[in-house]
Amino acid sequence: MEVRTICCIGAGYVGGPTMSVIAQKCPHIKVTVVDINARRIAAWNDENLDNLPVYEPGLADVVKEARGRNLFFSTEVDKAIDEAEMIFISVNTPTKTYGIGKGMAADLKHIELCARQIATVARTNKIIVEKSTLPVRTAEALRSILDNTGNGVEYDILSNPEFLAEGTAIEDLFNADRVLIGGDDTPRGKRAKQALVNIYANWLPKDRILTTNVWSSELSKLTANAYLAQRVSSINALSELCEVTGADVTEVARAIGSDSRIGSKFLKASVGFGGSCFQKDILNLVYIAKSYGLNAVADYWEQVIIMNDHQKKRFAQRIVRTLFNTVSGKKIAIMGWAFKKDTNDTRESAAIYVTDYLLSELAEVTIYDPKVKKEKILADLDYLNTRSEEENRALVNVVNDPYEACEDAHAVAILTEWDEFKTYEWERVFKNMLKPAFLFDGRAILDTEKLEEVGFKTYTIGKGE
């Protein structure tokens, strides 16, 4: 089967970039990305490519080439579902904030709504592709909804989890380590899997396109993120030990990363991991393990989250302790709000929680990020519901100039590893700060010796004093 029409439900950080690349690489396939959020769709259609709702290096060029040719963004969800031979579901699956599984289980209400809408609209056979991160055996629930509509439509359900790293998503799509496609091993299931294999094979070697059963594919996504997060929490746990023993976590990481059995990736100590996937997927894994009575397994993976939360709080406490145990009325400059460089995604960013802690100590916080807008920063703080919106706006100032952010500040805290931070005139920054001037490098991206030469007192995670 050769697919000619694709619909993707969800125009967010996964659906938008993934479908843009598929459209660019497969000009013979019509790709329509739909979303009920009219403002988001309008941003995807904006002539000014700087206004795309997702920032990824290289994304604007891909959209520019394919949009209007065979890539379309629309709010006409029913029309796109009706026309499509293959439908990707790429909607948000946040952690539940209510009911059974609150705080751990994935909230699948958007997935269910998609399935019911497809079942209502579809009049021809469809291949349904799970692109959202989902708990194992979600495909079973999808099938139950789709196969009991009584309209005679046949559905094949595939799992095709994304393994994109935000900030390098376009390169990850162009040159993926692997594409995973899970489906039934029936003759129909194999044909459906091959249809999706054929799409990716337009630009990827076939030996990188792996096929499994659908349950293995669903679980592999959760497991991959859990393993990566585990490495981050492991090196962060060691960073605290390094600080009290006089060791340097960077040197320790280099030493252990040189072991070919371990490798060097995800061994950079920091203020903590963020993003949409790591915490959510581990909590989901914990919930699944607990639901099967595997409490030791659940406790093991939950510790990864506990360590990550500890690292954020420890960093914020260090700022307070260094500034003579009080930050009340003191200006703290927060440099970076996105959870990592080269993205405007702020979900679970360490900066949110560090700032929230400082605000609880009545610090006056000024924030600068080159890609995250003021409205998003304030919305992130409001969402925590720690204090009123009025209180947040009284204590928080968001600026567009990094030097303005640092002017008259008692301390600077670097919370995103933006490359531009490495090129600042830090002597100029220091002269405009109050003395003594403190710099807290939560991502270990600066040369602290040079900073100390110009007058900063520095703290870097994982470096002994």
DSSP state of 196: H
Residue 37: CA atoms inside 13 Å, Cβ hemisphere, count?
Answer: 13
- Return the C-alpha torsion angle 38, 39, 45, 50, nearest 10: -170
β-bridge mates for residue 396, sequence order: 365
Rounded CA gap, 108 and 279, in Å? 17
**Strand ranges, E, within 24-164:** 30-34, 71-74, 86-89, 126-130, 155-159
Rounded CA gap, 420 and 287, in Å? 40
Is 7 a known active-site residue?
no
Please choose, from the candidates 86, 130, 128, the residue with its C-alpha nearest in 3D space to the C-alpha of residue 106: 130
Helix (H, G, I), strand (E, B) or coil at 283: helix
DSSP state of 326: -
Write down the catalytic residue from 277, 280, 312, 417: 277
Rounded CA gap, 371 and 398, in Å? 12
Please choose, from the candidates 159, 285, 310, 286, the residue with its C-alpha nearest in 3D space to the C-alpha of residue 232: 310
Amino acid 440 reads: F
Is 162 a known active-site residue?
yes
Q: Which helix (H) or strand (E) holds 216?
A: helix 214-245
Specify the pairing of strand 179-182 against strand 71-74: unpaired
Rounded CA gap, 95 and 93, in Å? 7
Asked whether the beta carbons of 165 and 172 are under 8 A apart, the reply is yes
Residue with tokens 């739909």: 34
Amino acid 239 reads: S
Question: Omega before 187 cis (within 30°)?
Answer: no
Backbone angles phi, psi at 88, to 5 degrees: -90, 135
Specify the pairing of strand 86-89 against strand 126-130: parallel
Q: Which two tokens stand for residue 364?
A: 């006056």
Write down the catalytic residue from 131, 221, 331, 340: 221
Residue 114: CA atoms inside 13 Å, Cβ hemisphere, count?
Answer: 30
Is 277 a known active-site residue?
yes
Write down the catalytic residue from 85, 130, 162, 417: 162
Asked whether the beta carbons of 286 and 104 are under 8 A apart, the reply is yes
Residue 81: CA atoms inside 13 Å, Cβ hemisphere, count?
Answer: 21
What residues act catalytically?
162, 221, 277
